[in-house]
Structures are given as structure tokens and as C-alpha cells.
């Protein structure tokens, strides 16, 4: 029986060098089935996702393969017919819904403009779609502009738009990255339901293995533009046979157990690098001389997956390292609060957002602020660092009062209290090199210049595991994980006593996230205090000593991390934990 989607030999090549970004990718999907595509940044996931629509970014070309959807090979169609097939045969949902939604058009216009029937006839279908994705379908909602919606609502509208024309395949590229656990759970349930109701296949691209475990029937693992392992979700995530898949699983945090995360050493290959032999060999613990000269074929392995590895037998004979059984962290000794907030109230434009928020963090401890989007986490963090205007309450740093506005704080207070933003590309000056970005605070706070400044920059970069050779590069020349480490290094050269980290791992690959979490943990061991803002309870379990749970601007629960996450007292906290996804445990599933 023919499959709904048949992809064979898809290859995407860089025009300038002739190197392949995606190489010889093949798979099949039936109606209603979901395939998860996972891998680190640079693995080729997004490039493959776009190639399934017959599209390649500027500077690249689809040089081979077939993408057959509902009996039609998209890659063989002339441009005009291909454009019409996008929507009717295949649709795409991007990570950022703002790029898919026109800010100047109403939802009604955007949801109906791609349909071939008159608007009056299309509206009933649009209303039904909105209801199926858990959104209002009344006229008032349809008149709204995208800016009047939350991020989760925007993403659901983008998915409804993609489904509206009745495609046979929907390609979703990181659609839940940055969403809180409750909104993410609703989006994932919606994807599963839509595929079942509309007999529609889906490709779900993600770096989050727990999300893929929840939504996908099949999993494809990519590295260096190649498929290195594929199979059913249980076979790949529970009985992984490729060293790379196993390494990804070892880097995943758990919301139920605290353990040390294991980053993958080295880095993923760049598209400009010549590749010979196994693409993962430079980072693989199992690699031998043959692996560096012979490219393995993707063949059926003993665990039920297709695996691209010369040493599969040796890999599966080695028990998988299960981080859940790893040694737990020693709990740092706490003392008097190094920073405290009491009776914090804050708002926007006269509308109150925070209500009587109070907590403290001790030296060498990490306090996590958690909650859904709109709970007040980031507003609280901005109040603490002095970047929010409408606030009242008492802030104290090392026992001394701290003014609410950053402009009224002394130079020492500004230096000792550092903020790391969620988006390092936005917080790092694109016109300054890495070294220059770190020299600026050294000159400002310590008057250090020249050789001494370069020495301190080198020490800070070494501390965050950034090679000194990257000091001359600019933010655009770094990966997301490298940029985040540079942002941490810039904070560290100020010799702070408290770091406020705002969702600093939310968009990182699991391996990069593991290295950043372990880095921050080592800073706690050195006596640095930390306030960690996040919606990821698995990361909270990995790094935080205590937790403050915010809901609608109010503290609903607080306490030691183990107590709050293992035995939550408030219904809201219990709902967050219930919505948190876990990768299947190999011990429980075997």
C-alpha cells in the first residue's frame, strides 16, 4: 500500500562550495502519522523541512531526490504548480508565528485569503478550525490583529492557517520552542488531533526529545546533514543504537530526578567543512580508524532501528548511560539572603501585574522563578535589575536597601548584580567582537585596559569553555550556544555576586543546554548566587536549590526544589508538573 508521503534521496547543496547541507534523506509516512526530526543546530533539520516544500534558502540548491505527497512529486513540478501545491499538498509552520502572520491584517483575512472559495463560504470552515485548535471563533476574535494575541494563541492561529487548505503533509519547525509547558501541551495535543481528524501526515522538527517522544510515531535523528538513526519512537528513544542518539539522551534533564547532565564534547560540523568517513566520528567515543575514512550505510540494526554506524554491535553491547541513576549534586550551604525582595507590586500603564511578591536567595544558592507565560516571571526579574519603571516594594542587596531604578543605583551595585537576557543575539552588540564586548565592562568598572584586559577576557572565555581563537569573532559568526556563553562571560568579568538569568536555555539544543547548566552550577559552587527564570521544570530540577511559583502575578508556592517538585501543595504547581514531558526511561520500558 502506497504511503501518503514518500521522500527519497533528498539532497541540498551549498552553491559556492558544493558541500551538502542535507545528504540523501529518505523516509515514508502514512496518513495520520507524525515523524519527529531531532538533532543539534546545524544538523540540517530546518533545511530538510524547507526542502519538503521544494524550497532552499539563498545560496543553496536542492540537487537531488523526490518528495512525493499524495502521488505528486513536488520537486518535479514547475514553479507555478509548485506554488499552488504549497498549501493544498504541503504546508509549513515556523518556530516564530510572527513571521507567518501579517501584523496589519485581521485574523479573518489571513485565515481565508489562501482558500479558493469565497470568504462567505470559507468562514464556517475557518470557525470550525479555530474551535479545533482551542481558540474562540466569534466575530470579535476574527477581527483581532496578531499583536492582540499571546504567543501561544499566535502559534495556534498559524497552525490553523496551515491546515485550512487541507494539505496532506504539514511541516512544523520548532513550533513550541519558547512556550510554557501548559501551552506546549495544548499545542501538541492539537497537532495529534488534527492529524487524526484530517488524515494528515506531519513532520515535527524539534531539539526537545521529550516533546518528540510525546507527539511522534516515528523519529529521525539527524547529524551533519545525514540521517544517523530512524525508527519508531520507542525503538529510537528507548533502544537507541547510534552513539549520537545515546549522547543526546544523556544530555536531557529530568523533572523527576536531579542528576548531572552530560554534554557532547566537541561541536557539530559546519557546512564549509570537508567531511570524510562517519560524520560523527570526531565526537564519538566508539570511533576507530576505519570510522574516519569509511562512510557507513543506513542499515537495519538489532534494536529495530535503521542506524548509520560501523560499530553498532559494539555500541549496543555497552549499557546505555542512564543519567537518572547518576550521583546527585551536593546542596550548597545557605546563609543570610544575599538578595531579597519584599512586597513587590508592579504594573504596566496603571494596570497591576505583580501582587505582593516576596522571596530571598542565599549566597551560593540558585532560586528558580517558574510559571506560565504571563505569570509575571520576567517582570519580576526586570524589577530586580532595575529595568521596570512601575514598581513599589523593598529590595535589599547584602542587607542594604536598593533603589528601584537602575539609574539611581551605585556603580558597585550595578556591577555586583548582573542580568543575562534570553536572547544573546539581541543583548550582544553585533558590531563588537567577542573580546571588545568583554573589554567594555572591564574598562567601565575596573579601569582595566590593554594587556591586562585581554588577559581577563581570556580567563573569562576559558571559564565558559569558549576557545581563545573565537575572541576576534562577531556574534553573527557564533552559534546560539556560543553566543549565550559569551553573554555569561561578559557578566562574569564584572565579578558579580548575583546573576539573574532570564530563560537563558530555552532555545538551546539539549547538549548545549547541558553544558550551560553545568557551567552555571559550577559558578554556584564558587559562591555566586543566582535567580533563574524559566518555564522548564526539568532544568529547574537540575540547577535550582529553591523554587518560587508565580501565577497571575502572585506567589502561589515556594520552597526547596525537591519538596515543591516532588510533593507540590498548590493545584497550579501540580498542573505545571503534570504538563511537563519526560523522555521514556529505558529501564522502565525494557
* pLDDT at residue 32 in the model: 93
* pLDDT at residue 587 in the model: 43
pLDDT tens readout for residues 453-467: 999 999 999 888 788
The Cβ of residue 567 has, within 10 Å, a number of other Cβ atoms equal to: 10
* pLDDT at residue 2 in the model: 59
* pLDDT at residue 321 in the model: 60
Distances (CA, A) of 155 to 111, 181, 186, 187, 304: 13, 14, 11, 8, 35
Confidence at 313, pLDDT banded by 50, 70, 90: very high
| DSSP-based three-state secondary structure for 29 | strand
pLDDT tens readout for residues 253-272: 999 888 888 889 887 887 77
* pLDDT at residue 345 in the model: 97
* pLDDT at residue 133 in the model: 82
* pLDDT at residue 149 in the model: 84
Select, from the ranges 34-43, 169-178, 191-200, 215-224, the one with the highest average predicted confidence (pLDDT).
215-224
Whether residue 31 is predicted with pLDDT greater than 60 in this model: the reply is yes
* pLDDT at residue 114 in the model: 76
Share of the chain above pLDDT 90, in %: 64
Whether residue 590 is predicted with pLDDT greater than 50 in this model: the reply is no
Whether residue 588 is predicted with pLDDT greater than 50 in this model: the reply is no
* pLDDT at residue 515 in the model: 86
Residue 505 carries which DSSP code?
T
CA dist., res. 580 & res. 339, Å (int) = 30
pLDDT tens readout for residues 270-291: 777 777 899 999 999 999 999 9
Confidence at 326, pLDDT banded by 50, 70, 90: very low
Whether residue 396 is predicted with pLDDT greater than 50 in this model: the reply is yes
Q: Which of 43, 40, 39 is nearest to 512 (CA)?
A: 40
CA dist., res. 327 & res. 319, Å (int) = 17
Mean pLDDT over 577-590 rounds to 73
Higher pLDDT, 339 or 323: 339
Would you say the pTM of this structure is higher than 0.75?
yes
Contact 218, 203 (CB under 8 A): no
- The fold of the 5-245 domain, in CATH, is Rossmann fold (3.40.50)
Confidence at 333, pLDDT banded by 50, 70, 90: very low
Confidence at 476, pLDDT banded by 50, 70, 90: confident
| DSSP-based three-state secondary structure for 30 | coil
Higher pLDDT, 335 or 186: 186
* pLDDT at residue 327 in the model: 40
Whether residue 176 is predicted with pLDDT greater than 60 in this model: the reply is yes
* pLDDT at residue 275 in the model: 78
Confidence at 322, pLDDT banded by 50, 70, 90: low
| DSSP-based three-state secondary structure for 500 | strand
pLDDT tens readout for residues 37-61: 999 888 899 999 999 999 998 999 9
* pLDDT at residue 335 in the model: 60
* pLDDT at residue 200 in the model: 93
Q: Where in the chain is the domain with CATH 3.40.50.300?
A: 5-245, 337-425+497-589
Q: What is the rounded radius of gyration, in angstroms, for the C-alpha atoms of the chain?
A: 25
Q: Which of 260, 259, 255 is nearest to 537 (CA)?
A: 255
Contact 147, 97 (CB under 8 A): no
CA dist., res. 371 & res. 533, Å (int) = 9
Higher pLDDT, 155 or 246: 246
DSSP string for 391-422 = EEEEEEETTEE--SSGGGS-HHHHHHEEEE-S
Average pLDDT over all residues of the chain:
90
List alpha helices for 45-180, DSSP H: 45-51, 79-88, 107-112, 119-132, 139-142, 151-164
Q: What is the dihedral of CA 530, 536, 539, 540, to 10 degrees?
A: 50
What pairs with residue 223 in β-bridges?
Answer: 226
Total residue count of the chain as it appears in this document: 590
Mean pLDDT over 397-412 rounds to 95
Task: Count CA atoms closer than 13 A to 313's CA, side-chain side.
Answer: 0
Whether residue 26 is predicted with pLDDT greater than 90 in this model: the reply is yes
CA dist., res. 102 & res. 235, Å (int) = 41
Place of cell 550551560: 516
Mean pLDDT over 78-101 rounds to 88
Whether residue 548 is predicted with pLDDT greater than 70 in this model: the reply is yes
For domain 337-425+497-589, the question of CATH label 3.40.50.1820 is answered with no
Whether residue 325 is predicted with pLDDT greater than 80 in this model: the reply is no
Burial 5-19 (b: 16+ CB within 10 A, else e): bbbeebbbbbeeeeb
Amino acid at each position: 500500500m502506497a504511503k501518503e508521503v514518500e521522500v527519497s534521496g533528498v539532497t541540498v547543496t551549498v552553491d559556492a562550495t558544493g558541500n551538502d547541507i542535507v545528504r540523501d534523506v529518505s523516509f515514508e509516512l502514512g496518513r495520520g502519522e507524525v515523524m519527529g526530526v531531532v538533532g543539534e543546530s546545524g544538523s540540517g533539520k530546518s533545511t530538510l523541512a524547507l526542502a519538503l516544500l521544494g524550497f532552499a534558502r539563498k545560496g543553496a540548491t536542492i540537487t537531488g531526490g523526490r518528495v512525493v505527497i499524495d502521488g505528486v512529486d513536488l520537486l518535479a513540478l514547475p514553479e507555478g504548480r509548485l506554488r499552488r501545491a504549497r498549501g493544498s499538498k504541503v504546508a509549513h509552520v515556523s518556530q516564530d508565528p510572527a513571521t507567518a502572520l501579517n501584523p496589519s491584517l485581521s485574523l479573518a483575512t489571513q485565515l481565508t485569503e489562501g482558500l479558493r472559495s469565497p470568504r462567505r463560504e470559507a468562514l464556517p470552515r475557518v470557525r470550525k478550525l479555530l474551535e479545533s485548535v482551542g481558540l474562540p471563533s466569534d466575530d470579535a476574535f476574527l477581527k483581532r490583529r496578531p499583536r492582540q494575541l499571546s504567543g501561544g494563541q499566535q502559534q495556534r492561529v498559524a497552525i490553523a492557517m496551515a491546515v485550512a487548505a487541507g494539505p496532506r503533509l504539514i511541516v512544523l519547525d520548532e513550533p513550541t520552542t519558547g512556550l510554557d509547558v501548559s501551552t506546549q501541551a495544548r499545542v501538541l495535543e492539537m497537532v495529534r488531533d488534527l492529524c487524526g481528524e484530517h488524515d494528515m501526515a506531519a513532520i515535527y522538527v524539534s531539539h526537545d526529545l521529550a516533546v518528540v517522544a510525546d507527539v511522534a510515531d516515528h523519529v529521525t535523528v539527524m547529524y551533519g546533514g545525514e540521517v544517523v538513526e530512524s525508527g519508531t519512537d520507542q525503538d529510537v528513544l528507548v533502544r537507541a543504537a547510534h552513539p549520537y542518539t545515546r549522547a543526546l539522551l544523556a544530555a536531557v534533564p529530568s523533572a523527576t530526578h536531579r542528576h548531572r547532565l552530560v554534554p557532547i564534547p566537541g561541536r557539530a560540523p559546519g557546512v564549509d567543512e570537508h567531511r570524510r568517513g562517519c560524520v560523527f566520528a570526531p565526537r564519538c567515543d566508539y570511533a576507530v580508524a576505519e570510522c574516519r575514512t569509511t562512510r557507513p550505510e543506513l542499515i537495519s540494526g538489532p534494536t529495530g532501528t535503521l542506524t548509520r554506524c560501523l560499530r553498532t554491535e559494539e555500541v549496543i553491547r555497552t549499557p546505555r548511560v542512564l543519567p537518572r541513576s547518576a550521583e546527585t549534586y551536593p546542596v550548597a550551604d545557605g546563609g543570610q539572603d544575599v538578595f531579597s525582595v519584599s512586597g513587590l507590586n508592579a504594573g504596566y500603564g496603571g494596570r497591576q501585574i505583580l501582587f505582593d511578591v516576596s522571596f530571598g536567595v542565599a549566597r551560593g544558592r540558585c532560586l528558580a522563578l517558574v510559571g506560565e507565560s504571563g505569570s509575571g516571571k520576567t517582570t519580576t526579574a526586570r524589577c530586580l535589575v532595575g529595568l521596570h519603571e512601575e514598581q513599589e516594594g523593598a529590595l535589599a542587596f547584602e542587607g542594604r536597601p536598593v533603589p528601584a531604578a537602575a539609574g539611581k543605583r551605585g556603580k558597585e551595585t550595578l556591577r555586583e548584580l548582573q542580568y543575562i537576557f534570553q536572547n544573546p543575539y539581541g543583548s550582544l552588540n553585533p558590531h563588537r567582537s567577542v573580546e571588545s564586548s568583554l573589554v567594555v565592562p572591564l574598562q567601565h568598572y575596573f579601569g582595566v585596559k590593554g594587556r591586562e584586559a585581554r588577559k581577563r577576557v581570556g580567563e573569562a572565555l576559558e571559564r565558559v569553555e569558549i576557545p581563545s581563537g573565537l575572541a576576534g569573532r562577531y556574534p553573527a559568526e557564533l552559534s546560539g550556544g556560543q553566543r549565550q556563553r559569551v553573554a555569561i562571560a561578559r557578566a562574569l568579568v564584572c565579578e558579580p555576586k548575583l546573576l539573574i538569568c532570564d530563560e537563558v536555555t530555552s532555545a538551546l539544543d539539549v547538549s548545549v543546554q547541558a553544558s550551560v547548566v553545568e557551567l552555571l552550577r559550577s559558578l554556584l559552587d564558587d559562591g555566586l548566587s543566582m535567580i533563574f527564570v524559566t518555564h522548564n521544570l526539568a532544568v529547574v530540577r537540575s540547577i535550582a536549590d529553591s523554587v518560587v511559583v508565580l501565577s497571575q502575578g502572585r506567589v502561589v508556592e515556594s520552597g526547596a526544589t525537591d519538596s515543591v517538585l516532588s510533593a507540590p501543595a498548590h493545584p497550579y504547581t501540580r498542573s505545571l508538573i503534570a504538563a511537563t514531558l519526560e523522555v521514556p526511561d529505558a529501564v522502565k520500558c525494557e
